[in-house]
Structure 1
Amino acid sequence: MSGFQIEQSKSKSATFFDVKTLDEKWKNFSKCVIMPQNVDRFDSYKNFFIRPDDIFILGYPRSGTTRLQELIWIIANDFDFKTLMEYDCGTRIPFFESPELSFELREKPLVTSFEEMSSPRTIKSHLPVQFLPDEIWTKKPKLIHISRDPKDAIISLFYLLNDFSPVPIKLEDFLEDFLSDNVLYCPYREYVWNFLNLPDYENILYLTYEEMSADLDGTIQKVGKFLGKTVSEENASKIKDYLNFEKMKNRKTNDNKFAYKKMMQIMHPNLNNDVTFIRKGVIGGYRSDMPKEYADRIDYWYAESGNLNQGYNYKNYAAIKKIFGS
């Protein structure tokens, strides 16, 4: 880990670590806030062997990556609904940062490593651009990035992390940590802006949670076109039924409960919390939890993204503001 600078995060709500790459290429990029168990894995992240036909699903946590990864897997695997229903989403679409969640801790693993996966591999990651595998920038696999209103994403992340916490996390502390870039995978603004401003990378599709929710038909066809697949009316109808939010919430292959229970036994052996992986999925749902003062602060804070001096040059400010209806 000689190529990284590591120190404990200043987070008040949980124990995280800040990791910063010392690679000259990424010298203008900031830290990434990460879970303690992943601190020693950054060499393996950067040196991961990429296949040109890999498909990476990318986005800040709780931005809709779970629903999107299922949509992508179905189309990329030629509408194999049998395997879809037989194996849970976490083993079909492994989580890059914590592969044990997809392999060792699964009740019924499909494979036991990334290397065993058949092509095209669909892989989910929440890592910011500067920590993705180096070979991504030379082999140019398909990247699909999803964004969501940060207020909805952070409230959803608050509830998930609370499920894993041995002591209750205070919402106010968590929101203050988010605004000061001390929550998991932060800094958030740089995270999103750098993906939306990737230079010289044409093999990427941008989506939003709000777009996918409002026009699932259009999103299905857009993903199909990007993957070079024709989606028939019959298959589109099957996909829509499978992606019904309430059905996903109650489906064992989507809830990740088995793997998360195993993970909790490792992290906190005496903790027996029930983890709710798929929660509400409502656009604007943050309003029932987040004080207006914080909602206004986050809106103002996010609008200041154009003044950031880290990461790529921010050329698409107007387009990015439009995504969140600002």
Structure 2
Amino acid sequence: MEKSKIVHGVRMESIGMPLQDKAFFADEYLDVGPGKQVMVRFFEDWYPKYATFPVLSDDVWVVTYPKAGTTWTQELVWCLYNDPDAPESKQPLTRRFPFLEFDSLLDPRLPDMLPPGSVASDDPMLPGNTWKIVQNLKSPRFIKSHLVKDLLPEQLWKVNPKIIYVIRDPRDVCVSYYFHNRKILGYKGTFDSFVDLFLDEKLIFCPLWKHYLDFWKIRDQPNILFLRFEDMKQDLGSAVRQVAKFLGKEVDDAKVSEIVHHCSFSQMSANPAANNETFLTAPTEDSKIRFMRKGEVGDWKNHLSEAHLKAFKEWTAKNLKGSDFPYYQDY
């Protein structure tokens, strides 16, 4: 694409390929909109569809920055509306709770890059199929997105369906995102280089603080529920009740216990319908990394050096200057 252009009223500027090695599924990134969210170049073609996507009042949206507890929250929400043991629960989460902008992350040439017959023609991993799934969802619809507030469908802010927004310690997000990029995108660079890319906001779906703070500012709106990954880990039962109340779903102790068990890390990581292991992975030796790897609080302590933490502290202070956001500043 040309260096910079306007698509559906939003500026999109090519920023090349920040990752040291060409990533699987992507060969060029864009800097999109005033929030400068980093997206794959194919987003240019898909964005008008996302911006004008018709929103329904009984939709339930889970919006997050990647690796902030998205999959966990999706399964929890789905189980509040459905029986975890129902036949439908065997369908992959990518069908039950589709990822709105997933098609925009995929090279349209992908079907020709895969071995013949290796992926079913209607598989959500093939470009265009997730859009078909989203359009054919039955009400109430469950939809996931990693887009920043300004790039989400325009009708979200007029129809005001329920939106659950989840945050997680950026240090844990960074570590988890590193392994995710190795598994999904075939990142071959060093961990140190990845931390630099994360803090320089040159990875897909960056910038993190823009993502968090935009929803922090509207957290008191009645259709917004702002959750923390750490609070969910500390007391999942309370989180289930909180989400149920927000969604207007009555739950008794038995239902809460059922969901807590079903959504425990051990159960979800072993559940092929919930653990997102159906995602295509880059053809590298890292393809055996699990999509749901640890799900821990504080795993960053096992990976980040003192130099990393100093950089995180400066990055956090810079982005939170003048904000009343109270979390993740315990350096």
**TM-score of the two chains, using structure 2 as the length reference:** 0.82
Q: Where do residues 231-250 of structure 1 align in structure 2 (5 Å cutoff)? A: 231-250=251-270
Structure 1 unaligned regions, length at least 5: 22-28, 308-313
Match of 1:96 among 91, 97, 100: 100
8 Å CA contact 2:59–2:142 kept in 1: the answer is yes
Alignment correspondent of 1:5: 12
Change (3 A) 1:83 1:169: farther
Match of 1:276 among 290, 299, 305: 290
- Listed one character per residue, the Cα deviations across residues 17-47 of structure 1 (whole Å, up to 9, x for unaligned) are 12323xxxxxxx3211113443421111111
SS in structure 2 opposite 1:67?
A: helix
CA distance in 2, matches of 1:110, 1:301: 35
Greater share of residues in helix: 1
User: What amino acid is aligned across from residue 7 of structure 1 in structure 2?
Assistant: S
**1:54 counterpart = 2:59:** yes
- Identical positions, percent: 25
Alignment correspondent of 2:123: 105
User: What amino acid is aligned across from residue 118 of structure 1 in structure 2?
Assistant: K
CA distance in 1, matches of 2:220, 2:276: 36
CA distance in 2, matches of 1:206, 1:232: 23
Once the two structures are overlaid, the 10-residue window that deviates more, 237-246 or 273-282, is: 273-282
Q: CA deviation at 1:259?
A: 3.5
Q: Where do residues 260-275 of structure 1 align in structure 2 (5 Å cutoff)? A: 260-261=280-281, 264=282, 273-275=287-289
Match of 1:19 among 17, 20, 31: 31
CA distance in 2, matches of 1:277, 1:192: 23
Alignment correspondent of 1:207: 227
**1:134 counterpart = 2:154:** yes
**1:295 counterpart = 2:299:** no
CA distance in 2, matches of 1:111, 1:82: 25
RMSD value, Cα: 2.8
- Listed one character per residue, the Cα deviations across residues 231-262 of structure 1 (whole Å, up to 9, x for unaligned) are 1111111101101102211221123233325x
Alignment correspondent of 2:142: 122
CA distance in 2, matches of 1:203, 1:225: 12
Q: Where do residues 124-163 of structure 1 align in structure 2 (5 Å cutoff)? A: 124-163=144-183
Residue correspondences, number: 301
8 Å CA contact 2:103–2:130 kept in 1: the answer is no
Alignment correspondent of 1:65: 70
8 Å CA contact 2:8–2:48 kept in 1: the answer is no
Q: CA deviation at 1:169?
A: 2.2
Q: CA deviation at 1:132?
A: 0.2
